Structure 1
Amino acid sequence: MRSPLRLALAATGLLSMLLAVPTTASAITEDEEPLEYVAMGDSYASLGTASTHYTDPATGCVRATDNYPSRLAEELAPDTFVDVTCAGAVTGGVLNSQLSALTPDTDLVTLTIGGNDIGFGAIAATCGSDSLTNPLGSPCEQRFTTGGTDQLAARIGATAPKIDAVLAGIREHAPHAEIVVVGYLRILPPALGCWPVVPISVGDVPYLNGVQRGLNTMIGERATAAGATFVNPGETTGHDACQLLPWRKWIEGPFPILDAAPMHPTAAGQAHVADLVADTL
């Protein structure tokens, strides 16, 4: 039975100090044991440059050849790399369709999931529509907190046990794997926004930032509870969908000017996430 990736990384880290190996990634590739990497999750893991998107003929899942798992695989150079990420995936889809890619020999698993479970696409569409008649107010927050209950916070809470189930399923199918759970890139700036370029009302920007922060926090807590590693790309500012300089964007807006899917990571965003995961490993 091969050693877990965690032990392999520790060993190569010690070797790098003794022999001045330049990077952790290069040390991994020189390990005698083969490295098997499986990438799982939704469109924030599956999509990248739009011109590289393709549809898996076996599953109908849309992926890109330069999403963060593919970029990470380029850096780690695993002996086996299986990408089963799927645009539109929810936790149930991971349990029903993606776990089968795992084996007892899987060494590394990356996972991004949960956004579709709380209805990310519908939330963006609803808040965008509400902004058209009240661009300076907070109509979206009012909609989702009517009656004193924050519906989106409740959705995040209801998604937590689903994340637990996914992580338990991964551990069952790949008992020795290092599991890295990756959160969601920041979509909006801290305040004001950029209506109508990104049609979110000024008053709703802090609220929706709080929703995204709450989602990432919950995912991180569930990852930690399951003994997985959490990587949170959502705290960095200055690379949101409102950036005036296109090359600073890590998230595209609803009307793409870059070669990316609307409201999804750009090539630069996916490269940043891959770097974060590689640095963590």
Structure 2
Amino acid sequence: MRTAFLAVVTVAAAAIALPASTPPAHAGVLNYVALGDSYTSGPLIPQQRSDPLGCGRSKSNYPAILASRLGAQYTDVSCAGASTVQMAYAQPTVSGTNAAQFKALETYTDLVTVGIGGNDFALFRTLIDTCPLLRASNSTGNPCERRFAVNGADSIKAGIPKISQRVKEVLSGIHVRSPKARVYAIGYPRILPPSGYCPNQLPFADGDYAWLNSVEEALNGAIADAVKADGKSSYVDLYGPSLGHDACAGTAAWINGQNDSWSPGAAAYHPFLVGMSGMADVVYQQIMHP
């Protein structure tokens, strides 16, 4: 997903680097690899890692929390801005290059989580760059939904089935590289409320809230469909469990609104630390009680 955290490169330049890969785990220790985009990496959540700094990878994101609860040795190669392409190809960032994420996978890997898809075809970036600018034209209507209506069809949702196919290919690539690993495809948590509005946090026209929710639901559905087609992975639904924790939820929010936040730390439209903890809870429960 789109991130707006260029200032973090300066502020967090002194962050301690952690290794991008790990040696084989000791006998009996779970070996866990986390792949994904900014909803996995956690831009602006303290403390930011510097391997590379441009990935916005936090030492307190859900993979870190999950690894601690599982007692696992883990490798986190998630990176802000990553799409499914970055699983197999290196990703240049504003500060450093992240190696192809698949390189972290080994034959001895036991557990893999992958949260990916929202950056494919610039899906979320297109919405975030476009929709807030249209609110002034019709604050109570649905100008963004209408902006993407082409000959009566929704041009945004039309591309989502292609994302599903790409995610399926990612899952296949994981199985090839880590054949014994349990693999979990992680959905996206709820960003907008099911009803009501908070334009100071989410500056979309009132009538676009329902449509934007339907886009996120379609994306999560596409990820779930990819898991079903793959047949060897599990889907982790974060959208349902995050009800009541959207960006309009005040102190209960897991997700930040339109502005980067340094206290508590979170990039715009991205999870806070409390959101990462909540996401880790959901993933942990599914791993422990499949």
The letter for the 2-side match of 1:102 is L
**1:90 matches 2:83:** yes
Structure 1, residues 136-192: CA drift from partner, whole Å, max 9, x if none? 110010011231111111121121111111111100000110001110010000123
**1:77 matches 2:77:** no
Distance across 2 between alignment mates of 1:92 and 1:132: 35
SS of the residue 2:75 aligns to: strand
Aligned to 1:102: 105
Distance across 1 between alignment mates of 2:143 and 2:155: 14
**1:144-163 → structure 2 map (5 Å cutoff):** 144-163=148-167
**1:175 matches 2:179:** yes
**TM-score (normalizing by structure 2):** 0.81
Aligned to 1:265: 271
Aligned to 1:197: 201
Q: 1:54 aligns with which of 32, 49, 54?
A: 49
Q: 2:40 aligns with which of 39, 45, 57?
A: 45
Distance across 2 between alignment mates of 1:193 and 1:48: 25
Alpha-carbon shift at residue 48 of structure 1 (Å) = 5.5
SS of the residue 1:56 aligns to: coil
SS of the residue 2:164 aligns to: helix
**TM-score (normalizing by structure 1):** 0.84
SS of the residue 2:63 aligns to: helix
Distance across 2 between alignment mates of 1:178 and 1:45: 18
Structure 1, residues 77-97: CA drift from partner, whole Å, max 9, x if none? 11x310000110000001220
SS of the residue 1:193 aligns to: coil
Distance across 2 between alignment mates of 1:132 and 1:211: 22
Distance across 2 between alignment mates of 1:66 and 1:49: 10
Q: Which has the higher helix share?
A: 1
Aligned to 2:235: 230
Alpha-carbon shift at residue 193 of structure 1 (Å) = 1.9
Q: Which structure's CA Rg is the greater one? A: 1
Q: Kindly, what percent of the aligned residue pairs are identical? A: 38
Comparing 120-129 and 202-211, the one that deviates more: 120-129
What are the ranges of 5 or more consecutive residues in structure 2 without an aligned counterpart? 1-25, 90-99
The letter for the 1-side match of 2:215 is V
Distance across 2 between alignment mates of 1:187 and 1:240: 5
Distance across 2 between alignment mates of 1:160 and 1:169: 14
SS of the residue 1:55 aligns to: coil
Distance across 2 between alignment mates of 1:37 and 1:177: 9
Q: 2:259 aligns with which of 255, 258, 269?
A: 255
Aligned to 1:16: none
Q: 2:246 aligns with which of 228, 236, 240?
A: 240
